[in-house]
Amino acid sequence: MIDLHSHTKESDGTLSPEELIWEARSAGVNILAITDHDTFAGYDQALEPARKVNLELICGIELSTKLGHQSVHLLGYFMCCEQLAELRSWVLEMQASRHERNIRLAARLQELGFDITLDEVSARGHGMTGRPHFAQIMVEKGYVRNIQQAFHDYLGESAKAYVHRLEPRFDETVRRIREAGGIASLAHPVRIQGDLPSLLPALCDVGLNAIEAYHSDHGPEHTKLYLSLAKQYGLRVTGGSDFHGETVKPGIKLGTGRNNNLGIPDDLAEHLCPAENHPTVASSSSIRSRTEHLGAGMIVSNHVPNVDGETLSGLGMTVWFTGLSSAGKSTISQAVCEKLRDMRHRVEWLDGDVVRKHLSRGLGFSREDRDENVRRIGFVADLLTRNGVIVLVSAISPYRKTREEMRQRIGNFIEVYVNAPLRICEQRDLKGIYRRARAGEMRGVTGVDDPYEPPLAAEIECLTDRETPSESAARVLSAIQARLDQRKT
């Protein structure tokens, strides 16, 4: 079983990280994400216990954001933790705002006649004190019957003791998750105020790339709606119980939710990563993107109009990112895409997974089929380039001759070799593609039993075992700007 939404006592759960791991293993969960509020501490402490019981642990976090006049929660998932330093620093700032809210909440409860101090509540909250810890004290002192009443009457957003917390904007939080290489998923969308189908396009425009379709609060009709919206907007799907422990959220079990209502597919975790070598794994969305269709295929769009409805950049080119799976092609190209969007250029991102799923549906992984896939990508890239679009292609494209064919066809072409040693790619392989290949469970995996032919004269080589994605993206952007300047003269 899979559960991608759980909490430890490092935020507002009742179990220690180690206890949560044992609870998950006892429940039959073999893939677990710890998504504590505003902290990675629970995940960090659970790594070693998870390793000991052979449980796959995914790094996650749940962040409160401000969307209009409502508080909306985002789940961030990080399949590679190498880019988290900046996000961790920002999360510490969010913890400070939580502490300031707790001071005001304690004062408000005292105004209402409750003998509750911040010190006694903080003693329950370990590193991250929240409203559930206030609720626990209220129950123990006999002010309310249970935690549910505490929230309904006093602590909930419309209750008499509620105090607002300074929360980051929804778009800023999405951006920070995505810049850290993460997946930004809309948590328990059933709680969103307003018409979600009408709101979702705007949320996708600022970078939302996943939705929590499976949740303990969701009925079958909710899950059906969210799966449909995910398909419509090219979002990934996440799901989890939102387990906190029996005293905080009674009746919710790890892996199964409330009364076994979750039904999370066994392959859901695989869909959190791009898997360019495997046709059955879902594709990723780009930063701040919509899904649009071109003929039989699908591209990821980042058109930015000016006030007159016309785009501001008319100089097209194709930037082709090639390299092994897990070398970092998608991460770098996403970062480049975001910067170009900020500079008001017309940008399209052709991700290898997206093309595989739509434009190249039915193709296998023989040399002939791989070449045909690259030619289809090249056809779309050429069409867009000739219409003044900067096209970013991220695809393994393993054979040198076919890539050179695309260079000759497109003309204004920049090749970016995203170079990471195979051993590094295998270490990053959270999708398990290399592991399955080494175990003989998969064949035709580039770099293992199918060759990769590195470029001989790429315009840019990104050594992703030595430089950060930001450093690589900066060099690519410099090359793009130089080409634009050259074209303008």
Burial-class residue 406 by CB neighbours within 10 Å (0-12, 13-18, 19+): buried
Shared-domain flag, residues 259 and 353: no
Q: What is the pLDDT of residue 286?
A: 33
Which runs of E-coded beta strand occur in 334-379?
A: 347-351
User: Is residue 347 situated within a structural domain?
Assistant: yes
pTM for this prediction? 0.54
More confident residue, 426 or 354: 426
User: Is residue 121 situated within a structural domain?
Assistant: no
Domain of 375: which CATH number? Answer: 3.40.50.300
User: Is residue 173 situated within a structural domain?
Assistant: yes
Q: What is the pLDDT of residue 301?
A: 39
- At 351-393, the pLDDT tens digits run 887 777 777 777 888 889 899 999 999 998 998 888 888 999 9
Distance in angstroms (rounded) separating the CA atoms of residues 284 and 262: 23
Shared-domain flag, residues 303 and 397: yes
Strands 56-67 and 70-78: antiparallel
Shared-domain flag, residues 319 and 452: yes
- At 434-452, the pLDDT tens digits run 888 898 888 888 989 899 9
Shared-domain flag, residues 263 and 295: no
Q: What is the pLDDT of residue 489?
A: 61
Q: Residue 419: pLDDT above 80?
A: yes
Domain of 253: which CATH number? Answer: 3.20.20.140
User: Is residue 475 situated within a structural domain?
Assistant: yes
Number of H helices, E strands in the chain: 16, 16
Q: Residue 314: pLDDT above 70?
A: no
Shared-domain flag, residues 233 and 322: no
Average pLDDT over residues 11-36: 94
∠176-177-179 over CA atoms, to 5°? 65
Shared-domain flag, residues 470 and 365: yes
Average pLDDT over residues 283-300: 32
Q: What is the pLDDT of residue 243?
A: 97
Secondary structure of residue 10 in the 3-state scheme: coil
Distance in angstroms (rounded) separating the CA atoms of residues 276 and 279: 7
Q: What is the pLDDT of residue 344?
A: 83
Summary mean pLDDT of the chain: 85
User: Is residue 111 situated within a structural domain?
Assistant: no
Q: What is the pLDDT of residue 386?
A: 87
Residue 45: which pLDDT band, with cuts at 50, 70 and 90? very high
Write down which residue in 225, 246, 272 finishes a domain: 272
Q: Scan for tokens 């930063």, then name that residue.
A: 287
Q: Residue 298: pLDDT above 50?
A: no
Helices (H), ranges, 39-84: 41-52
Shared-domain flag, residues 260 and 325: no
Write down which residue in 237, 272, 307 finishes a domain: 272
Query: What type of residue is 414?
Result: I
User: Is residue 98 situated within a structural domain?
Assistant: no
Whether residue 183 contacts residue 210, with contact meaning beta carbons closer than 8 Å, is answered with yes
Q: Residue 285: pLDDT above 70?
A: no
- At 261-281, the pLDDT tens digits run 999 998 888 777 643 333 222
Residue 306 domain boundaries: 290-488
Distance in angstroms (rounded) separating the CA atoms of residues 235 and 228: 10
- What is the set of active-site residues? 397
Whether residue 323 contacts residue 420, with contact meaning beta carbons closer than 8 Å, is answered with yes
Whether residue 180 contacts residue 80, with contact meaning beta carbons closer than 8 Å, is answered with no
Q: Which of 47, 1, 52, 58 is nearest to 24 (CA)?
A: 1
Shared-domain flag, residues 10 and 86: yes
Distance in angstroms (rounded) separating the CA atoms of residues 375 and 347: 20
Shared-domain flag, residues 362 and 424: yes
Helices (H), ranges, 78-219: 85-111, 118-125, 131-140, 147-150, 170-179, 196-205
Q: Number of folded domains in the chain?
A: 2
- Rounded to the nearest angstrom, the gap between the alpha carbon of residue 183 and the centroid of all alpha carbons in its chain is 0
Shared-domain flag, residues 393 and 482: yes
- At 176-225, the pLDDT tens digits run 999 999 999 999 999 999 899 999 988 998 899 999 999 999 999 999 99
- Show Cβ contacts of residue 265 under 8 Å, excluding neighbours closer than 6 positions: 2
